[in-house]
């Protein structure tokens, strides 16, 4: 019985301490001033589109920079909303620490294609199909030219951009994707003077696999400049047009 009573007393003591700690923390949070800000940009080196200084500039421009302000007056939700409104930021998480410091963790949007269309527009397509303005940013990606409509470019071409970016073989071999007036895709490789007629993005993985096999077993023996066009539009076929 005494053991049971002792256990109950210990549990009550622990519960009381936890309640006190929570109350004390909240009271401290209400009275403390933000003494510092830690900004973490996830995978910053992979895109270079957003950095710590740009996050700070966004907060300052929107009068939300937290250092020196009372923690109780800092709206985390509002800060996150402003940061996520940036065309270069995918996710933002803001939180306060017990020592008065704040942390902001930002995840950038990831561009997969650089578009320079015939309308003179210059923008990026991200891996989720969103449009990112060019601004002062530049990243070396496969360039898409021609009849690319900005309103529909994301849903149409983002999956292809992701596939090409993730495939180390093709990411280093394709330099341009041209969209003809008829909406068909023509790929320009970095090596060789031929044009790859892809047609559309349907069965893309199959087309790239067949083309890679043809590169290894055909072009490497016949010569990289032997053909003018390589047509991948039809199932189970690779149709080539010789150079005159």
Whole-number percent of the chain with pLDDT over 90: 61
Residue-wise pLDDT tens digits, 221-240: 777 778 899 999 998 888 88
Whole-model pTM: value is: 0.80
What does the chain look like in DSSP terms, one character per residue? -HHHHHHHHHHHHHHHHHHHHHHHHHHHHHH-B--EEEEEETTHHHH-S--HHHHHHHHHHTT---TTSBGGG--HHHHHHHHHTSTTEEEEEEEE-TTSEEEEEEEE--EEEEEEETT--EEEEETTS-EEE-TT------EEEES--HHHHHHHHHHHHHHHHH-HHHHTTEEEEEE-TTS-EEEEESSSS-EEEEESSTTHHHHHHHHHHHIIIIIHHH-TTSEEEEE--STT--EEEE--
pLDDT value at residue 166 = 92
Residue-wise pLDDT tens digits, 99-155: 889 999 999 999 999 999 999 999 999 999 999 998 887 888 999 999 999 999 999
How many residues in the chain?
244
pLDDT value at residue 44 = 62
Dihedral over alpha carbons 26, 29, 32, 33 (to 10 degrees): -170
Residue-wise pLDDT tens digits, 69-104: 998 899 999 999 999 999 999 999 999 988 889 999
Residues 6+ apart with CB under 8 A from 106: 39, 40, 41, 42, 50, 55, 83, 89, 91, 92, 93
pLDDT value at residue 50 = 87
pLDDT value at residue 176 = 97
pLDDT value at residue 22 = 43
pLDDT value at residue 16 = 52
């Amino acid at each position: 019985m005494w053991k049971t009573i002792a256990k109950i007393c210990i549990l009550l003591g622990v519960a009381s301490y936890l309640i006190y700690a929570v109350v004390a923390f909240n009271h401290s949070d209400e009275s403390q001033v933000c003494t510092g800000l830690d900004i973490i940009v996830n995978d910053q080196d992979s895109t270079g589109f957003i950095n710590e200084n740009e996050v700070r500039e966004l907060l300052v421009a929107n009068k939300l920079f937290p250092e020196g302000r009372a923690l109780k007056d800092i709206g985390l939700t509002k800060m996150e909303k402003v940061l996520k409104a940036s065309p270069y930021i995918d996710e933002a998480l803001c939180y306060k620490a017990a020592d008065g410091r704040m942390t902001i963790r930002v995840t950038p949007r990831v561009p997969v294609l650089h578009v320079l269309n015939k309308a003179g527009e210059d923008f990026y397509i991200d891996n989720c199909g969103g449009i990112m303005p060019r601004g002062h940013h530049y990243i070396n990606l496969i360039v898409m030219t021609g009849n690319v409509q900005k309103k529909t470019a994301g849903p149409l071409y983002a999956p292809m951009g992701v596939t090409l970016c993730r495939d180390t073989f093709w990411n280093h071999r394709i330099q341009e994707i041209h969209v003809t007036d008829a909406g068909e895709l023509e790929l320009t490789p970095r090596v060789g003077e031929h044009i790859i007629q892809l047609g559309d993005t349907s069965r893309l993985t199959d087309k790239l696999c067949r083309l890679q096999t043809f590169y290894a077993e055909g072009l490497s023996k016949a010569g990289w400049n032997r053909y003018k066009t390589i047509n991948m539009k039809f199932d189970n076929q690779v149709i080539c047009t010789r150079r005159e």
